[in-house]
Chain A
Amino acid sequence: MMPHRKQSVWIISIVTLAVVVVASLIFGGSVLNWDDLTLGFTNHLGGAATTESASMAWTILTELRIPRALTAALVGSALAVAGVLAQGLFRENLASPTVLGTEAGGSIAAAIAFMLGWAHENPLLLPLAAFAGAIATTLMALGIAKRSQSQDSITSSTTHIMLSGFAINALLGAGTSYLITMTLEEPGRSGRALSFLIGGLAAKGYEHVIIAGVTLSMGLIAGLKVAAALDVLGLGEDTAQSLSIDLQRLRRHTIAVIGILVAGAVAAAGALPFVGLIVPHIARRLIGASHRGLVALAAVQGATLVVAADLAARWLRAPIELPASILTSALGATFFLLLLARPSKGGSE
């Protein structure tokens, strides 16, 4: 019954992830030859002499493709898990982690840091700026959550947070538009700073893997902890309270976890739309609404989506690279529509 179906969902998801990751290592702007790779590998282990094409293939694999695939997977996981948590916290199917403004805050901080020229002395400053911007926005959301605690208010605290998230996003959107007008005044830097508002996986290295990896692990562990409480929250705030849930604490913790996950993702790869919105839905359709399982499955499927999107971005119009953000929307939405088109099996398995 249920366990068997769940099991097959898990197996298929993990196998798909593995296949997609391997494909993204071999395919892309150019196809890496298997013989070259094995030769490069044995050479790396201290073996025999190597051919030029083998060492090139090995360099591309280890210096470029592996960190890129890893970053894509980790960022995809983080965004998907953040999406699950956001939808659970706001009890809203259409919520996404961007609703708190975290993503916008990180992107704009990176764009501004780039405009100010910080990136050239030390390229690591940019992800740090994005991270700081994202965390600052999250703290703002937390502060608002703390303020609106009165039980006498007509709108619930959670709605408050969502509304202020809209406002923050609007504010940052205005900031972005201002940056765009500035590009005409200040030639060169400003215009390119805008590229930071579009996410992508180009030229990512192990430093990005570390950023994304550390934040994902923190977020995943903490996310699994709040998952069960989010389940109960799904019965209503009053009911949850009567079942021993401390609403304020749950809100704060969940927002903080969402913040960390998105901050790490934005710092590593910029804003990738749609992942946090669509992957929770796909996972929920396949494995049910219990948040613990959702968080875990979304992590796997989010990784798959972004790695696949990045592969498509490199492959579709090679040698030109499309922005990965276009592909995350296209792939995610297509898959979701396919899922919707399937006749609903109801809850019975």
Chain B
Amino acid sequence: MLQKSQNKLRVQGLPQQLSMSATVGPWLAGILVFLAFFHGNFCLAKPQRILSATLASDEMLTAILAASCEPRPCQSALARLVAVSRFADDQRYSNITAMASGIKGRFHGDVEQVVRFKPDLVILASFSRPEIISRLQSMQIAKFMMTDLVSIEAIESTIKSLGERIDEPEAAAKVVTEMKSSLALASEKGEKTRAQPSVLHIYDDGTISGRNTLFDAISTAAGATNAAHDLVNGWQKLSVEALLNLNPSFIVVGGTPNTSRDEESAKLKAIPGISKLAAWSAGRIIVIPDSELAAVSPHITKAVAKLKSALKNEPPVTEAQAK
């Protein structure tokens, strides 16, 4: 049939190539159009107007887009991100305050804003209210749902999925490779094995991080043990007795750019029982920026690196000292 139409067109005087495309072209276009309409979230072009509603996706997307840069200039790549979450500017939580200043839009959670930004892809938190999801569906706006991430592997795999979604798989792979290499740097092989130091992450109000938290993943990657790993799942406040029983070698607290180490340590004093911990009396307190400690993004490697170097610089703690 194709031959017949080709002959027809050739008879009318069109050169062969043109007539070929003239016959095949409409079919191809038809199939593509059909696919585009049939597969709701299918975008012919890569998403050019991305709205990121969570800090995690803000940081991941900026990393991926920056990695997609060469050889093009970065600004046009970043321009694909039309809005980021309002936390992106907050120094206490965000690792990308500088980059965020180059992004005009801020998303506050209002669905009307979604309409105004005219995104072709919205990145939502896993815990977004279902009404927002319904509205996006009824307005036929493509969405990508983030999931709760509490391990470095999960972060890496989400970066890859996100990369595929915005059609930058190579850039995403680059970001992941970079992460892996900086983590590898953090855990040097050939180092003489010694007892893994135990660390405990404590918040201002006395809550500590157990297993299935980012801190747990960070401490493992840094070659330490989370003192609360066996006892606690998630985040809990412990009784004074339980806290003392954990007896970590090091205490880790989250810091902000505006407070000094001493100020952070002083904040801990209010927690009942803290003063009885050996790590406290010995001053073995490590302060890592909160934005890195809680980073659900490539920036988590910075926390790992800082923890590792802080542990290395401390004199090795013997078993006797730790008791």
Contacts and interface: CB of A to CB of B under 8 A. Distances in A.
Interface of A: 28-30, 56, 59-60, 63-65, 114, 119-120, 123-126, 184-189, 191-192, 195, 202-205, 207-208, 314, 319-321
A185 B113 contact: no
Contacts of A123: 130-131, 133-134
6 contacts: A60-B112, A63-B135, A185-B234, A191-B127, A207-B134, A320-B108
Mostly helix, strand, loop or mixed at chain A's interface? Answer: helix
B300 to A, nearest CB: 15
A202 B134 contact: no
Given A188-B126, A205-B138, A319-B108, A29 B234 contact: no
Contact of A64 (B115, B207, B213): B115
A208 B135 CA distance: 11
A126 B110 CA distance: 20
A9 B131 CA distance: 36
A29 B112 CA distance: 8
A188 to B, nearest CB: 4
A208 to B, nearest CB: 7
A123 B212 CA distance: 27
Contacts, number: 91
Contact of A30 (B116, B138, B139, B233): B116
B112 A28 contact: yes
Given A29-B113, A189-B148, A63 B129 contact: no
A204 B113 contact: no
B148 A29 contact: no
A328 B278 CA distance: 52
A202 B131 CA distance: 8
Contact of B234 (A186, A205, A320): A186
Contact of A184 (B112, B113, B131, B236): B236
A204 B134 CA distance: 9
Contacts of A195: 129
Contacts of B132: 202-203
A203 B134 contact: yes
B111 interface: yes
A188 B213 CA distance: 11
A184 B234 contact: yes
Contacts of B134: 123-124, 203, 205, 207
Contacts of A189: 126-127, 148
Q: Top 8 closest A-B pairs, CB basis?
A: A123-B130, A192-B127, A188-B148, A203-B131, A119-B130, A185-B234, A203-B111, A123-B134
B145 interface: yes
Nearest to A28: B112
B57 to A, nearest CB: 15
Contacts of A63: 115, 135, 138-139
B129 A204 contact: no
B280 interface: no
B144 interface: no
B150 interface: yes
